[in-house]
Chain A
């Protein structure tokens, strides 16, 4: 099981026809970085037009297993099994199937520029999207681990920064074992995509899963960024969004939350509720939203009826 993820990534890189058009160098950077062993302490912060959040975290990856202590709790990843600590217990989520990873050909990387980071030889690479800077990485030359990742919004402003402040490459001998799981859920694919399109703003709907509480999870990715949209029958708005920032895209109003590693967007169509969560930058989110079901309210009579009779 511990070796499952690297093998899957290698297979994905070899078996996916779409990657031939993508930037091979960027693809190699991502594949190497996703499987290298290291331990690090870092800080991650995110900012979207004044909505900001920051957190410290530490991560250990060894033998295909990753252990992360972060603001949302502890996460342990081994292959397709993600274990999450909740209180004193751990519970697991295992993805049953997933489609092969491929990298969009809209990204290219610049030639590496030598630098020094944390006292170690490193290289700066800029990831561009259709010729415009989208991310800057400072990569440890020896381990291929990114010591700094900066994600830029469409106007070039910094959207997210993740930087390791303490770093140790190589295998970790005292990697913890997978803890006993209080419960384990298999996340199974479903053929029902709901009302969600096969592609949105350059992101392809890679997989669709049955989500919790009869929701549908559609996972979109362009190979670099990713997001999930959870769709359900129209229901109550989560309390976390009561005071969330409202923003408009093409005249439609949405609510957003910014956490260190993700952005959340919630909206309601007349009969459905949607929740987007992902690591994509704001201008991508806005483009994606224009290609998804629009927000809308029910008619007066329907609202009165459902208010009285459910």
Chain B
């Protein structure tokens, strides 16, 4: 009588046809060796499922970048050059200081408006407007 062999794993994974399952169960009922092997396989599979998932060590699995490091460096350099160029163009072409600019005409008038209510040296000779 031949033993079940790889059919045991398929049976545990429920990957057998109904006819195969009937034949396997009939065989297991009369074969203590295959029954023991089935129990061992089942225990091993349960133990494996309880293990934590771990990342593979660096370098164990080859990565695309590792296969072509010169390609990555070239992209980084190109991106850096583009960014530097944009910065340089921006610094040259962008307007410098932004923000409010003093309107000297308005400021002169507003200063004069306050100045003339006091009898200071400019008021007594006649206030002059404008910058």
Least CB distance from A124 to B in Å reads 16
CA distance A266 to B100 in the complex (A): 14
Q: Given A68-B127, A71-B128, are A236 and B108 neighbors across the interface (CB < 8 Å)? A: no
Interfacial residues of chain B within 64-118, with CB under 8 A of chain A in the complex: 87, 90-91, 94-118
* A213 CB–B CB distance under 8 Å: yes
* A34 CB–B CB distance under 8 Å: yes
- Interface 0/1 of B37-67, CB less than 8 Å to A: 0000000000000000000000000000000
CA distance A41 to B63 in the complex (A): 92
* B119 CB–A CB distance under 8 Å: yes
Structural contact, A308 and B94, CB atoms closer than 8 A: yes
Q: Which of A35, A61, A187, A266 contacts B114 (CB 8 A)?
A: A187
- Interface 0/1 of A159-185, CB less than 8 Å to B: 000101000000000000000000000
CA distance A82 to B122 in the complex (A): 15
Which chain B residues lie closer than 8 Å to A228 at the CB level? 107, 110-111, 114-115
Structural contact, B98 and A238, CB atoms closer than 8 A: no
Q: Which of B100, B118, B119 contacts A33 (CB 8 A)?
A: B119
Q: Which of A9, A33, A94, A277 contacts B107 (CB 8 A)?
A: A277
Structural contact, A214 and B100, CB atoms closer than 8 A: yes
Smallest Cβ-Cβ distance to B115: which chain A residue:
A226
Which chain B residues lie closer than 8 Å to A310 at the CB level? 98
CA distance A72 to B128 in the complex (A): 7
CA distance A84 to B34 in the complex (A): 113
Which chain B residues lie closer than 8 Å to A224 at the CB level? 120-121
Structural contact, A238 and B119, CB atoms closer than 8 A: no
Q: Given A95-B117, A228-B110, A235-B97, are A59 and B130 neighbors across the interface (CB < 8 Å)? A: no
Highest count of chain B CB atoms <10 Å: which of A42, A151, A279: A279
Structural contact, A307 and B100, CB atoms closer than 8 A: no
CA distance A242 to B110 in the complex (A): 23
CA distance A266 to B106 in the complex (A): 16
Q: Given A72-B130, A209-B114, are A230 and B107 neighbors across the interface (CB < 8 Å)? A: yes
Structural contact, A75 and B128, CB atoms closer than 8 A: yes
Which chain B residues lie closer than 8 Å to A262 at the CB level? 108, 111, 128, 131
| B-side interface residues, number (CB < 8 Å) | 41
Structural contact, A261 and B102, CB atoms closer than 8 A: no
* B1 CB–A CB distance under 8 Å: no
* B5 CB–A CB distance under 8 Å: no
Q: Which of A34, A44, A213, A307 contacts B91 (CB 8 A)?
A: A307
CA distance A226 to B129 in the complex (A): 15
Q: Which of B100, B108, B109 contacts A215 (CB 8 A)?
A: B100
* B124 CB–A CB distance under 8 Å: yes
CA distance A124 to B58 in the complex (A): 97
Interfacial residues of chain A within 113-151, with CB under 8 A of chain B in the complex: 135, 145-146, 149, 151
Q: 9 nearest interchain CB pairs?
A: A72-B130, A59-B126, A235-B99, A34-B119, A70-B128, A33-B124, A75-B129, A82-B113, A261-B128
Residues of A within 8 A of B (CB): 5, 8-9, 12, 30-31, 33-35, 40, 42, 44, 55, 57, 59, 61, 66, 68, 70-75, 77, 80, 82, 84, 86, 93-95, 98, 101, 135, 145-146, 149, 151, 162, 164, 187, 207, 209, 211-215, 217, 219, 221, 223-228, 230, 232-238, 240, 257, 259-262, 264, 266, 273, 275, 277-279, 304, 306-308, 310
Assuming A98-B118, A228-B110, A304-B91, what are 7 further A-B pairs, CB within 8 angstroms? A9-B118, A66-B116, A94-B113, A219-B114, A232-B102, A234-B97, A264-B131
